[in-house]
Amino acid sequence: MAEACQVARKQDLPPPGGYKPIPYKRLPAKQLFSGYTMFAGFLGITAVSSYLYYLTSKKITKQEIEMRSAKMAIYPMLLAERDREFLKQLRKNRDAEAELMRDVPGWEVGTYYGERVYKNLPPDTLVQPIFHEYYAHCNPTDWFQRAYIKLRS
């Protein structure tokens, strides 16, 4: 133990000539643009892109008008077809309800035991039924397909 302690030790000292000076001076990045140039560039780019935006929005508006025009042209035909199908389905629903409630005494179709839903309207008024009534007698699959059409398309 004592011999080990007698090994000549080398003290940790600075390199000959001393340490290099610490570089504490600020080194700013190279300046490519001055402030005025950057403002001018911002304004220039904004102006050009606004013009391009204007051109594109005009084009998109034109396309939208064209599509709307085409859809409005075929709308009456689609509506006529839809109306016929709607009226057929209403009759089917009414017949189905009459068949379903045949054995219930006092039941009148479209009413609650003779009490009408819309009492102030004339009896011949066609009130469009809500979705659940319209699809009441159909296959549940069709109900789901129509109710969640947004999820499917």
Partner 1 sequence: MVITNDVKLPEFAELEVQEVNLPTSILMAASSYIGKQCECVNNEFMLCRFESNDPRTCVDLGKKVTSCTLSLFQNIKKNCLEEFVQYANCIDKSSGDFSLSKCRNTQRIFDCCMQEKLDMERPDFGYFCRTRVHSSTSASPPPEPCPCKPKYPDATPSLPDDHPRTPARYGGRAYWFME
CA distance 126 to 73: 27
Shortest approach of partner 1 to residue 31 CB, angstroms? 48
Q: Rounded to the nearest 10 degrees, how much is the dihedral formed by the CA atoms of 56, 60, 65, 71?
A: 170
Both tokens of residue 10? Answer: 């080398």
Element (H, E) at 75: helix 35-100
Shortest approach of partner 1 to residue 122 CB, angstroms? 8
List, in order, residues 6 or more apart from 113 with CB less than 8 Å away: 106, 107
Shortest approach of partner 1 to residue 120 CB, angstroms? 7
Is 104 an interacting residue with respect to partner 1 (CB under 8 A)?
no
- Do the beta carbons of residue 143 and residue 135 sit within 8 Å? yes
- Do the beta carbons of residue 113 and residue 107 sit within 8 Å? yes
Site for partner 1 in 109-138 (CB under 8 A): 109-111, 116-118, 120, 122-127, 129, 133-134, 136
Place of tokens 């069709």: 142
Number of residues this chain uses to bind partner 1 (CB under 8 A)? 46
| Pick 69 or 139: Cβ nearer partner 1 | 69
| Pick 16 or 76: Cβ nearer partner 1 | 76
Is 71 an interacting residue with respect to partner 1 (CB under 8 A)?
yes
Q: What does the binding site for partner 1 look like in residue numbers (CB under 8 A)?
A: 62-63, 65-77, 79-81, 83-84, 86-88, 90-91, 93-94, 97, 108-111, 116-118, 120, 122-127, 129, 133-134, 136
